[in-house]
Structure 1
Amino acid sequence: MTRNRPVPDLSPEEIAQVRAMVIHEDNSLIAFNKPAGLAVQAGSGVAQSLDTLMAAFAKSNGKRPRLVHRLDQGTSGVIVAAKTQPVAAALSDAFAGRDVQKTYLALVKGPLPPAEHGVVDAALVKVEEGGKSRMILARAGRKGAQAARTGWRVIARNGAFGLLELSPETGRMHQIRVHLMSLGCPILGDALYGEGQASAPRLMLHAAKLDLPHPEGKSLTLTAPVPEDFRLAAETAGLHSGL
């Protein structure tokens, strides 16, 4: 639980907004289907974030759920918050220990690999360019390089467009986005690693499913349907049969 911080005052509209995102809730955690465009954490230029919206679930003592992993602002889909500190620690360990299986969907453009599935095993390193952080492929032995692996599978293809299912084994910043760029088929709408709004209004990446060990000793599968703009972009690219 997040505590010892002022609980933001939320409007009735903001409370309704975040409650409408809930796809699962129990005594230990809450799972949300985050819309694209909503930042996970507050920062420079961020007027509202999912973290501040956690105030809608605050207890009378001010304690509120704590997000245990992150999604890029442009990415939609499943994200989880813990209701207690022990649950937060257990889930954070599960993510760090790669005990959580993550499944993403991405709409891409470019020459797709001829194979139907494969794995990108390419280390990444963070660099600063023009005041912004981004990830690049790292040569062997480069200082700061982090191992990164992403499994991929082609669900549907139509000319230069494809719908891919991604299974990242590690959780590096922008990992899926950089790995798909390295394959020659960046995600539609990706302003950092692709064509940006020339290909789509926003980043067409969706966190579709999480399989995680529940703190109460069971397994839990969380799924989030793709948003309407994702579905529409897939149909426009002739990839609707994959959803």
Structure 2
Amino acid sequence: MIDILTTPLPILYQTGDLVAINKPHGLLVHRSPIASDAAEFAVQLLRNQLGQRVYPVHRLDRKTGGVLLFALNEVMNATMQQQFMEGAVSKTYLAIVRGYTPDEQAIDYPLRRDDGNGGLGTLQDAFTALKTLRRTEVNVPFGKHPTSRYSLVELTPTTGRMHQLRKHMAHILHPIIGDRPHGCNKQNKLFLEQFSMNTMLLHARQIQFKHPISEETITVIAPLQAEFSRMLTTLFGMDKPEA
């Protein structure tokens, strides 16, 4: 993981009114009362890096790395947030999960609204499309099994509920490696002991939207970060995801 205190945030796309970064795993988007241990935030770091105010138009979990989009003025912020709310923005994620996932699966499973303080609210519709890119079996015993099986999956959510992908993968019994508390603690311990790895293996790979001013279709792709890339090579023998 890069040193987020001293390394500039990687900029993937920038115009006069929008900027996208490759958010490091472990970096909060903004200050939160549920993460009082954090001293640095993407909003603060990017503001200082660019020398101007920035507005996050969507969110990524602290543990998730990848494409994070910011507006550079209030009008663009409101416009892009509206696009997200209307489902006009396409987002694609990569994840490494436990077990062999099906070739494709539609996960239509409502989730309870999380108020951020441990409380649960009403059920909200939540939909994720899953596509399996690669499966692997490694010679690492797990429980009663002599080997361990994992899948590299592409996840495309059409709703944006809190922790949606993490909860959906846990629901279908293929939790994301490194996820806490929705994942498998025994698998997380295995990865720490066998591979010295404790990063959540969820990466916001791509975001696609129509620029509100130029009306051009913009596609922003975030390269994999170090730990995800290392696990891709270690488990699947791949140096990058397949197209």
**TM-score with structure 1 setting the length:** 0.81
CA shift in 2, pair 1:163/1:17, >3 Å: same
Provide the C-alpha distance between the structure 2 equivalents of 1:134 and 1:175, rounded to a whole number of angstroms: 16
Q: Is the 2:113–2:161 Cα contact (8 Å) retained in structure 1?
A: no
1:118 CA drift (Å): 1.7
Find the residue that maps to 2:118 and give its secondary structure: strand
Pick aligned residue for 1:203 from 197, 200, 203: 200
Q: Is the 2:199–2:227 Cα contact (8 Å) retained in structure 1?
A: no
1:239 CA drift (Å): 5.3
| 1:170-189 correspondence to structure 2 within 5 Å | 170-189=159-178
Provide the C-alpha distance between the structure 2 equivalents of 1:183 and 1:22, rounded to a whole number of angstroms: 35
Q: Tell me which amino acid in the other structure corresponds to 1:100.
A: V
1:32 CA drift (Å): 0.2
Residue equivalent to 1:162? 151
Aligned residues: 214
Provide the C-alpha distance between the structure 1 equivalents of 2:135 and 2:87, rounded to a whole number of angstroms: 30
CA shift in 2, pair 1:231/1:27, >3 Å: same
% identical equivalent positions: 30
Q: Is the 1:78–1:222 Cα contact (8 Å) retained in structure 2?
A: yes
Provide the C-alpha distance between the structure 1 equivalents of 2:45 and 2:78, rounded to a whole number of angstroms: 21
Q: Does 1:37 align with 2:34?
A: no
Pick aligned residue for 2:222 from 210, 218, 224: 224
Provide the C-alpha distance between the structure 2 equivalents of 1:86 and 1:213, rounded to a whole number of angstroms: 16
1:228 CA drift (Å): 1.9
Q: Does 1:192 align with 2:181?
A: yes
Provide the C-alpha distance between the structure 2 equivalents of 1:96 and 1:40, rounded to a whole number of angstroms: 19
Q: Does 1:124 align with 2:111?
A: yes
Residue equivalent to 1:153? 131
**TM-score with structure 2 setting the length:** 0.81
Q: Does 1:51 align with 2:43?
A: yes
1:133 CA drift (Å): 3.4
5+ residue gaps, structure 2, are: 138-148, 192-196
Q: Tell me which amino acid in the other structure corresponds to 1:123.
A: P
CA shift in 2, pair 1:67/1:21, >3 Å: same
Find the residue that maps to 2:212 and give its secondary structure: coil
| RMSD of Structure 2 on Structure 1 (CA) | 2.2
Q: Tell me which amino acid in the other structure corresponds to 1:209.
A: Q
Q: Tell me which amino acid in the other structure corresponds to 1:76.
A: G
Residue equivalent to 1:240? 238
1:234 CA drift (Å): 1.9
Q: Is the 2:113–2:124 Cα contact (8 Å) retained in structure 1?
A: no
Residue equivalent to 2:118? 133
1:17 CA drift (Å): 2.7
Provide the C-alpha distance between the structure 1 equivalents of 2:110 and 2:157, rounded to a whole number of angstroms: 13
Q: Is the 1:90–1:215 Cα contact (8 Å) retained in structure 2?
A: yes
1:68 CA drift (Å): 0.6
Deviations 1:70-111 (A, max 9, x none): 10011000001101111101100000100000000000013x
Provide the C-alpha distance between the structure 2 equivalents of 1:218 and 1:31, rounded to a whole number of angstroms: 16
Provide the C-alpha distance between the structure 2 equivalents of 1:208 and 1:134, rounded to a whole number of angstroms: 30
5+ residue gaps, structure 1, are: 1-12, 136-142
CA shift in 2, pair 1:84/1:203, >3 Å: same
1:241 CA drift (Å): 6.8
